[in-house]
Structure 1
Amino acid sequence: MRGAARTKSTITENARSINKEEWLKKMDNTSIDKQFLDSVVMDYLVKEGFQDVAEIFSQETSTPLPPDSISFQPIKVAVEKGNVGEAICRTNDIDPSILETHHELFCHLQQLQVITMINNGNIDAALDMAQNELRYRAEEDPSFLPELEKTICLLAFHDKTDSPFHYLNSPLHRIKIAHELNSVLLNSHGIEGDSKLHHVLKFIDWCERELTSLSIPHAKMTDVIKGNIEFPPL
């Protein structure tokens, strides 16, 4: 622990602010092998189930398709569109033990089902499932109880965007659960579920949190999709 404290202290002492111009200059002078970048893109396309796009990308860049590539795109798309029941049935057709052994994932999928019922005005069905399915799972795993409470709270708002938990009703949340299910399906077939790009983004997030904890001014990625970066004032 003392060694770690000394290391953090040394980092803090040696840290200096870098302005936007210097940052961009360093980025321009950084050389990344195109073949490596192509392999990262290919890995992402295959892991996320974009098989058709991956095949086109392979032809255009001469990047080979992974020999063990497998796609669960129909299941992933079903979750993203809110057709959770279909995704659960397709997953059980592949292997019923997947959802039986991944309780947190199954809870998230059932939570999406309840949210979809609420959005479609099937309030009685939503309450019935919340009481008979989600409550049972929350009793088994108390850590899921807050998620159940947040879901039920959506009923209190006619306009779901007014709810403090409106993010549960967003497309991004469905995409997150779809990715979670896709990763589990890939892992069940002996394939690393998270793409290399996903690991890079997780590493960036970790670095930003570490720098924040050390009170070191640093650039922050404010929009992953657009690649927007916010630079600290000097």
Structure 2
Amino acid sequence: MPSNMASRSDLNAVIMDYLISEGYPSAAQKFAHEANIEPMLDVDSIQERVEIREAIDSGDIQTAIEKINELNPQVLDQDSALHFSLLRLQLIELIRKATASQDGDITPALTFATTHLAPRAPTNPEFLEDLEHTMALLIFPPDNLAPTLAALLDPALRQEVAQRVNQALLLSQGERTKATLYDLVNHRSWAHQKAMEAKKEQLPERMELGFDPSQNGHESSQNGAPSSDQHNGQGDPMATGWGPY
């Protein structure tokens, strides 16, 4: 094997790191068995992160906050920006429910904003701006929102916050906040771009990296297995999720 080639053990470590960081507990166990390696694998911890992510993805922010605090209350205590982002998501869900019909009651949303977000807003200019921006959802009809307001109702915002929560939980557990695989992908993209700029090689304008951002390849806490769309030939289930970072 050439000296510049990664060893099988190195590749196994990168794959295992990805499975653990991104929340594939059963896949990590199966891979460890097939690769004949014995990683420090805390399945319960991984599963807890999976359940928190799923709660956020489904819009059940209150459950997510409760689970985060059960796992480690210091995570939100020490990261006011992340805590505010979760509370803002919760406010958005209340507004979404209130504006779903013409006779929807906006009182719960106003009460939540006044009680949980308004006291925090003066402590940070960005908090105040985000709160004002979010409250604008109550003024304009949901079917005719400006792009900046429509983005608040896009599931991508939930996924962005879920990614930040996952990183914060990993950091609190003394783990890497992102998988090594993403660093390798970023380095590969950087090298490819530099080669294109230098025009030293005849390279294609685009390199397929195997990531499909339209799919979420994480395992579900319902059955511990990847969703069925990962096996229909539409992309590699090992290279989807919240990245690239």
Over 3 Å counting, the alpha-carbon distance change for 1:204 and 1:127 in structure 2 is farther
From 103, 111, 114, the equivalent of 2:80 is 103
Looking at secondary structure, tell me which structure has more helix per residue: 1
Contact kept in structure 2, 1:160 and 1:169, CA below 8 Å = no
Equivalent position amino acid for 2:56 in 1? V
Q: Could you say if the C-alpha distance between residues 55 and 98 of structure 1 is closer, same or farther in structure 2, counting changes exceeding 3 Å?
A: same
Aligned to 1:170: 154
2:26 corresponds to 1:42: no
Quick check: 1:42–1:63 contact (8 Å CA) kept in 2? no
Q: Read off the aligned partner of 2:129 and give its amino acid letter.
A: P
Q: In 1, distance between residues paired with 2:185 and 2:129? A: 27
Name the residue aligned to 2:106. Answer: 123
Counterpart among 196, 200, 212 of residue 226 in structure 1: 212
Greater shift in the superposed pair: 191-200 or 132-141: 191-200
The corresponding residue for 2:179 is 195
CA RMSD of aligned residues (A): 3.4
Alignment match, 1:157: 141
Q: What is the CA deviation profile of residues 51-84 of structure 1, one whole-angstrom value per residue up to 9, with x for unaligned ones? A: 1122123334445433466312111211111111
Question: Residue 57 of structure 1: which of 31, 34, 39 is its match?
Answer: 31
The Cα shift of 1:161 comes to 6.1
- Residue 33 of structure 1: CA displacement? 5.3
Return the alpha-carbon distance in structure 2 between the equivalents of residues 222 and 126 of structure 1: 44
TM-score by length of 1: 0.67
- CA drift of 1:173 comes to 1.7
When residues 222 and 84 of structure 1 are mapped into structure 2, their CA distance, relative to the original with a 3 A threshold, is farther
Residue 154 of structure 1: CA displacement?
2.5
Identity %: 27
Q: Work out whether residues 12 and 35 of structure 2, in 8 Å CA contact, stay in contact via their aligned partners in 1.
A: yes
How many Å apart are 1:47 and its aligned residue? 1.1
> Is residue 78 of structure 1 aligned with residue 55 of structure 2?
yes
C-alpha distance in 1 between matches for 2:90 and 2:113: 10
Change (3 A) 1:94 1:142: same
Distance 2:123 2:73 in 1: 20
Unaligned runs of 5+ in 1: 1-29, 228-234
Structure 1 residues 187 and 136, CA, compared in 2 at 3 Å: closer, same or farther? same
- Once the two structures are TM-superposed, the CA of residue 221 in structure 1 deviates from its matched residue by 7.3
Q: Counterpart of 1:164 in 2: which secondary structure? A: helix
Q: CA deviation at 1:101?
A: 1.2
Change (3 A) 1:108 1:38: same
* CA deviations over 1:23-57 (Å, ceiling 9, x no partner): xxxxxxx9665654443232122112221122123
Using the TM superposition, give the Cα deviation of residue 177 of structure 1 relative to its aligned residue in structure 2, in angstroms.
0.9
Query: Matched residue of 1:191: which SS?
Result: coil
Give the superposition deviation at 1:117.
0.8
Q: Which residue of 2 aligns with 1:94?
A: 71
